[in-house]
Amino acid sequence: MADIDLDAFAHRYIEVWNEPDADTRRKAVEELWTEDALQVLQAPEAMREAAQKVGMRNVVLEARGHDALEFRVRTAYEEFVAPGAADFRVRGDVQRLHDIVRFSWVWMPLAGDEPQGGGLQVLALAPDGRIATDYQFIGL
């Protein structure tokens, strides 16, 4: 298993979501995630509630591979960062057990000190130190 600086790794991960340049963002996706990496995202609350109304209890969203991950990162950037009022930041300690890395993050207004959102990342690393599976849990 690759030896990595955990804080630098978590900050690189978060910086991708704040990156305005499409080419730089794509390159970072390729450097951070394996070619067939999977991101598993806890569906937003409104989506979970709508699904429960039709009998679906476990709504999970998935993106696999660099193209899907780049699309996911780009759309999050466009919605949450590009308007210029907030960005994503690592919050607290970054921890590692074998090939699993976990850290929390927040969506923070640039002119404030109270997070407007956040979540938990649990990342399973490949032997080369890139992300093989990325679990994202939304909510503070």
Q: Within 10 Å of residue 111's Cβ, how many Cβ atoms?
A: 7
Q: What is the pLDDT of residue 58?
A: 84
Q: What is the pLDDT of residue 2?
A: 72
Lowest-confidence segment of 29-33, 54-58, 81-85, 123-127 by average pLDDT: 54-58
Q: Can you read off the two tokens belonging to residue 53?
A: 């109304």
pLDDT, tens digit, for every residue of 15-74? Answer: 999 999 999 999 999 999 999 999 999 888 888 899 999 998 888 999 999 999 999 999
CATH fold label, 6-138: Nuclear Transport Factor 2; Chain: A, (3.10.450)
Task: Give SS3 for 57.
Answer: coil
Q: What is the pLDDT of residue 112?
A: 87
Comparison of pLDDT for 43 and 98, the residue scoring more: 98
Distance CA 114, CA 98 (A): 33
Question: Residue ranges of the domains in the chain?
Answer: 6-138
Nearest to 30 by CA among 41, 16, 51: 16
